[in-house]
Amino acid sequence: MTSISYIEFISYTERVSNDNYFDMLLLLRQYQRNMTKKKNIRYIDDIPRMQRELMSKDALEKAKNVGISQEIIDLEKKYKLKELKEFVSKNHILKEDVIGNKGHKRTWSKALYKSTKWGFNAFVLGVNKEKGHPLRGQIDVLLMIQDKL
């Protein structure tokens, strides 16, 4: 028995056109993968100025809020700049200790959020400063209040 094998010869132009076709398919698949990936939102300072000018307002707002907790954003929307400054000063934070541009609401809302964590300690300091306060020196009562919080 003899086997007959068939050999097909492809011309150079056909080979180049086939290679180009497969390259185009690969590029199309890469493009489709890139389009289906979740777009990363960058912080606004990392975006070039010209690109910021071309971005929509919604995209700019998302870029401004990258890495900021929702509580800080809520504080910023809820209060005016003057009110935020008053709340921060009531929580015993000096103006010099506030980090950032003092003309922005975001800076003061961050400081207010940070100071809410030490709210009870500020209360204890206020109690111990006032000589006529009924809880002055009552450490056991203050510890019971702290346990309830």
Whole-number Cα distances in Å, 93 to 64, 67, 71, 84, 90:
25, 23, 19, 12, 8
**What is the enclosing helix (H) or strand (E) of 129?**
helix 119-129
pTM value?
Answer: 0.50
| Tokens describing residue 118 | 């030490």
pLDDT of residue 148: 66
Tens digit of each residue's pLDDT (9 = 90 or more) over 66-101: 888 889 889 989 999 999 988 888 876 777 778 888
Q: Measuring CA to CA, which residue among 75, 148, 65, 82 is closest to residue 116?
A: 75
Q: Residue range 124-128: average pLDDT?
A: 71
What average pLDDT does the structure give for the chain?
A: 76
Residues in the chain: 149
Distance CA 139, CA 147 (A): 12
Task: Tell me if 62 sits within 8 A of 41, measured CB to CB.
Answer: yes
Q: Which amino acid is at 31?
A: Y
